[in-house]
């Protein structure tokens, strides 16, 4: 009897049956943590792989995916998006190859059944609102008067919204997408009428001004101007890493970089860079726990919201505050959420800190001199006096704080008696105000409540006397109730300490460097949470061994143990943070395999497939960064190896105020490294210390610095030719 996949016996006269050779074997499949929302590239390693093989995925998928085999050890595939995996928040799928030994687990996250509302715009007459859910590929039209909800199917991963009135007076909704390279136009009075224009994928923000859409995207880190009538690209400009927020400020286009805290000024007509602005040592801070540390400011933090006052010639920026570096008091973890005032010519003038919460979205009423700011950590709306905030009287700018009201049927993270006592936040923290939109007449403020999936309507007709009017349900937020409460906990500032998981890890990703983390107390890079479930232990040196232990430790510390998180809170926070996946790599081909040639961020060209051989051979990368997560921390047998690979041990900024004791560094996962800035534990691949004590962007391509500058101890890039180094970089960009 012949066995499937085995060669026929040799019937030669010798009677000898030759060695059949090594059979095929599956070793790894990765990334191991995937969203079912969009198409996902997969990397497969094995032995004896041959063309024509398929990856067999077990229940509940029960499907085959063809492999692109490039040699006997390496193959690639692409998992389709929108896969139905039942109703649980996650499932583990067993992967195998027909006729081959070995199995490998894949963990699929059920994002298509977890609506997540993150953007809001209104029609010109304020009769309609539009909110998007990127996980479900849906934009919801909300009729304000009747509260009628109309879901609109859009492209893959809608990420930002705007509106546009064309030359004939017709109003259009503008939608850009995270995964689909398209800008979608939807006619408001005829929703069936749609137009699709070419646009960058990985879009994070969109602004429409004078017939052009300005799109920020986070793969190549660019801003692109698109003419909405012709659909043609007008210009494209590289900017600081992870751009998102965009506003027209005077004669400039202002762009906020989430990864660096910088504001960049571009010419809206040409895209020419006009300058960059960040807080510096001495930037005045009013209010909150960092007010007396102005002299120790080292840089900025992620601009979460932007607004421009033409009357005051001032830009306003919401963030967790100027980033405080090493200081004589060794005050650490220096969040002070609030609003900064920026003069485009003179720079960052001041920051008003609220001492608690995380300031998120902004909406400006320039006519009445009022700025509205949402606090996603506390569930508040703050009303600010624009003139005072723009002047030296910022300490008196806060006019009112209004607590939002979660729906009566929305579950609570803790018993009701635990809120609003001992300095803690109130139940409003369940709201999660992510976006704001002010009505055309300035009398109503619409608040998108991310966690409760509702829109709050606030009466703001009387300055400083905002009142809650109504709440409009948009969709069901409780399809995965434990995960939803975990989302609340990830963003909440229950202890009113100004700290939350999101404050350090914006949207579950990274946010530059911080002076923090107990002992040894020094400047560290804030690592990403994406995919980190697969790579314990956590922190340097290791202090927690699992996501659950981390949720318990960090959850308690963030609120200064007022009180320690309950078992239910730890479970919910663990579930939510464990289900934050690495983004699908945008630099591989439609089949999931590395492309033949890739343009690198600095303009050079590399060949990823050649780079694969160098990664595992001449450059000696794979010993510390093995597949599928590309870190030794991915498996229990090799986990927690803290080593010295010759990279900098600390950032050289006021060393006497840092603890520079060195005990080795962990090995970061390289999956998703195309979207990591800065790199290295110190952040010194990407950032540099300047003479004035500020920390600024040194290069926008930190991967080259990480690979080349510290060889030979950190890999053997020193053995490579220039073109080979480009090939190696192109491969790592493809992970």
Lowest mean pLDDT among 562-571, 658-667, 684-693: 658-667
Instruction: Please give the average per-residue pLDDT across 90-99, as a whole number.
Output: 95
pLDDT band at 664 (very low <50, low <70, confident <90, very high): confident
* pLDDT tens-digit map of 328-339: 999 987 899 999
For position 95, what pLDDT does the model report? 98
pLDDT of residue 517: 67
Residue 463 reports pLDDT greater than 80: yes
Give the mean model confidence (pLDDT) for residues 240-254: 98
Q: In this structure, are residues 728 and 614 in contact, taking their beta carbons and an 8 Å threshold?
A: yes
User: Angle at CA 139, nearest 5°, toward 134 and 142?
Assistant: 135
Quote the CA–CA distance of 368 and 307 in Å, as a whole number: 14
Angle in degrees, CA 584, 509, 581, rounded to 5? 40
310 cis-preceded (ω within 30 degrees of 0): no
Per 3-state DSSP, the chain is made up of helix, strand and coil in percentages (nearest 5) of 15, 35, 50
Q: Nearest-5° angle of CA 104, CA 109, CA 114?
A: 170
For residue range 604-661, what is the model confidence (pLDDT) as tens digits?
Answer: 999 999 999 999 999 999 999 999 999 999 999 999 888 899 999 999 999 999 999 8
Q: Does residue 615 sit in helix, strand or coil?
A: helix
> For residue 21, what is the DSSP state?
-
703 pLDDT higher than 90: yes
Residue 537 has pLDDT above 90, yes or no: yes
Confidence (pLDDT) at 16: 42
Residue 264: closest CA among 253, 250, 280: 253
Reported as a single tens digit per residue, the pLDDT across 675-687 is 999 999 999 999 9
What CA–CA distance (Å, rounded) separates 341 from 462? Answer: 24
CB 325 within 8 A of CB 348: no
Same topology, domains 25-111 and 598-733? Answer is no
Ordered by start, the domain boundaries in the chain are 25-111, 114-208, 598-733
In the predicted model, is pLDDT for residue 140 greater than 80? yes
Give helix 547-558 / helix 567-578 axis angle, nearest 10°.
120
Q: With pLDDT > 90 as the criterion, what percentage of the chain qualifies?
A: 92
CB atoms within 10 A of CB 313: 13
Which pLDDT score, from 0 to 100, does residue 2 have?
25
The token pair that represents 651 in the structure block: 């950032």
Mean pLDDT in residue range 273-286: 97
| Tokens 């060195």 found at | 662
Average pLDDT over residues 677-702: 96
Fold of 598-733: Cytochrome Bc1 Complex; Chain D, domain 2 (1.10.760)
pLDDT higher than threshold 70 for residue 693? yes
- 17 pLDDT higher than 60: no
- The residue length of the chain stands at 735
Q: In what order do the strands lie in the sheet with 347-353?
A: 285-286, 347-353, 338-343, 314-319, 305-309
> For the chain, how long is the longest CA-to-CA vector?
102
The secondary element (H helix, E strand) that includes residue 455 is strand 454-459
Q: Mean pLDDT across the chain, nearest whole number?
A: 95
Residue 215: what pLDDT?
98
pLDDT digits (tens, 9 = 90+) for 146-167: 999 999 999 999 999 999 999 9
What are the structure tokens assigned to 690, written together? Answer: 């300047």
Mean pLDDT of 30-52: 97
**Phi then psi for 306, rounded to 5 degrees?**
-135, 145
Q: Is the pLDDT of residue 20 over 70?
A: no
Res. 579: pLDDT tops 70? yes
Give the mean model confidence (pLDDT) for residues 712-725: 95
Q: Is the pLDDT of residue 82 over 50?
A: yes
Across the range 457-471, mean pLDDT stands at: 96
Answer for the pair 338, 351: CB distance below 8 angstroms, yes or no. Answer: yes
**Is the pLDDT at 518 greater than 80, yes or no?**
no
* Mean pLDDT computed over 184-188: 98
Of all helices (H) and strands (E), which one includes residue 501?
A: helix 501-504
Q: Model-level pTM?
A: 0.95
When the candidates are 3.40.50.300, 2.40.400.10, 2.60.40.10, 2.60.40.1930, the CATH number that belongs to 25-111 is: 2.60.40.10
Q: pLDDT per residue over 357-380, tens digit each?
A: 999 999 999 999 999 999 999 999
Mean of the pLDDT values across residues 517-546? 90
For the chain, give the percent of residues with pLDDT over 70. 97
Is the Cβ–Cβ distance between 85 and 63 less than 8 Å?
Answer: no
pLDDT score of 661: 87
pLDDT for residue 502 is more than 50: yes
Q: How far apart are the first and last CA of the chain?
A: 43
């Amino acid at each position: 009897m012949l066995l499937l996949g085995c060669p026929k016996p040799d019937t030669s006269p010798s009677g000898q049956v030759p060695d059949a050779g090594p059979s095929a074997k599956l070793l790894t499949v990765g990334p191991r943590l995937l969203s079912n929302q969009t198409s996902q590239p997969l990397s497969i390693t094995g032995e004896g792989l041959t063309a024509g093989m398929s990856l067999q995925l077990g229940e509940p998928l029960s499907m085959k995916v063809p492999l692109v085999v490039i040699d006997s050890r390496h193959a690639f595939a692409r998992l389709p998006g929108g896969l139905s995996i039942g109703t649980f928040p996650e499932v583990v799928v067993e992967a195998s190859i027909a006729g081959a030994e070995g199995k490998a687990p894949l963990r699929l996250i059920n994002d298509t059944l977890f609506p997540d509302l993150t953007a809001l715009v209104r029609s010109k007459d304020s009769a309609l609102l539009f909110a998007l859910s990127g996980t479900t590929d849906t934009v919801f039209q909300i009729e304000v008067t009747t509260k009628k909800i109309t879901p609109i199917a859009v492209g893959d991963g809608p990420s930002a919204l705007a509106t546009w009135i064309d030359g004939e007076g017709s109003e259009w909704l503008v939608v850009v997408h995270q995964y689909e390279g398209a800008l979608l136009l939807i006619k408001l009075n005829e929703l069936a009428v749609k137009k699709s224009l070419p646009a960058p994928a990985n879009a994070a923000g969109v602004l429409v001004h004078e017939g052009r859409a300005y799109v920020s995207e986070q793969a190549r880190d660019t801003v692109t101007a698109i003419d909405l009538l012709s659909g043609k690209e007008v210009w494209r400009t590289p900017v600081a890493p992870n751009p998102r927020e965009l506003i027209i400020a005077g004669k400039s286009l202002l762009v906020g970089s989430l990864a660096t805290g910088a504001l960049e000024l571009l010419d809206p007509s040409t895209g020419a860079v006009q300058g960059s602005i960040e807080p510096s040592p001495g930037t005045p801070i009013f209010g909150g726990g960092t007010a007396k540390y102005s002299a120790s400011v080292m840089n900025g933090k992620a601009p979460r919201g932007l607004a421009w006052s033409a009357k005051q010639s001032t830009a306003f920026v919401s963030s967790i505050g100027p980033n405080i570096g090493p200081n004589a008091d060794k005050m650490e973890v220096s969040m002070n959420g609030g609003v900064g005032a920026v003069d485009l010519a003179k720079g960052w003038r001041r920051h008003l800190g609220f001492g608690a919460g995380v300031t998120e979205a902004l909406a400006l009423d320039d006519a009445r001199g009022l700025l509205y700011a949402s606090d996603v950590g506390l569930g508040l709306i703050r009303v600010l006096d624009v003139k005072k905030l723009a002047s030296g009287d910022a300490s008196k700018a806060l006019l009112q704080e209004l607590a939002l009201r979660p729906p009566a049927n929305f579950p609570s993270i803790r018993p009701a008696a635990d809120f609003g006592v001992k300095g803690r936040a109130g139940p409003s923290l369940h709201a999660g105000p992510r976006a704001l939109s002010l009505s055309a007449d300035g009398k109503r403020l619409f608040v998108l409540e991310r966690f409760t999936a509702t829109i709050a309507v606030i009466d703001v007709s009387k300055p400083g006397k905002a009142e809650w009017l109504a709440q409009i349900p948009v969709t069901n937020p409780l399809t995965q109730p434990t995960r939803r409460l975990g989302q609340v906990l990830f963003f909440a500032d229950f202890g009113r300490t100004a700290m939350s998981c999101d404050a350090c890890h914006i949207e579950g990703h990274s946010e530059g460097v911080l002076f923090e983390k107990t002992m040894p107390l020094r400047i560290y890079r804030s690592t990403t949470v994406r995919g980190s479930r697969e790579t314990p232990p956590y922190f340097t040196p290791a202090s927690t061994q699992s996501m659950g232990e981390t949720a318990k430790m960090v959850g308690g510390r963030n609120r200064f143990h007022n009180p320690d998180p309950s078992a239910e809170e730890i479970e919910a926070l663990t579930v939510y943070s464990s289900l934050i996946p690495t983004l699908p790599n945008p630099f591989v081909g439609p089949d999931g395999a590395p492309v033949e040639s890739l343009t690198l961020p600095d303009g050079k060209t590399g060949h990823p497939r050649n780079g694969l051989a160098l990664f595992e051979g001449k450059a000696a990368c794979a010993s510390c960064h093995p597949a599928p997560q590309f870190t030794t921390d991915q498996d229990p047998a090799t986990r927690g190896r803290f080593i010295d690979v010759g990279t900098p041990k600390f950032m050289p900024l006021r060393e006497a105020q840092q603890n520079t004791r060195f005990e080795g560094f962990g090995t970061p996962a390289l999956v998703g490294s195309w979207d990591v800035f800065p790199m290295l534990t110190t952040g010194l691949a990407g950032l540099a210390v300047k003479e004035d004590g500020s920390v600024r962007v040194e290069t926008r391509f930190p991967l080259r610095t990480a690979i080349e500058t510290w060889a030979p101890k950190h890999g053997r890039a020193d053995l490579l030719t220039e073109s080979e180094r480009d090939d190696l970089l192109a491969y790592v960009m493809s992970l």
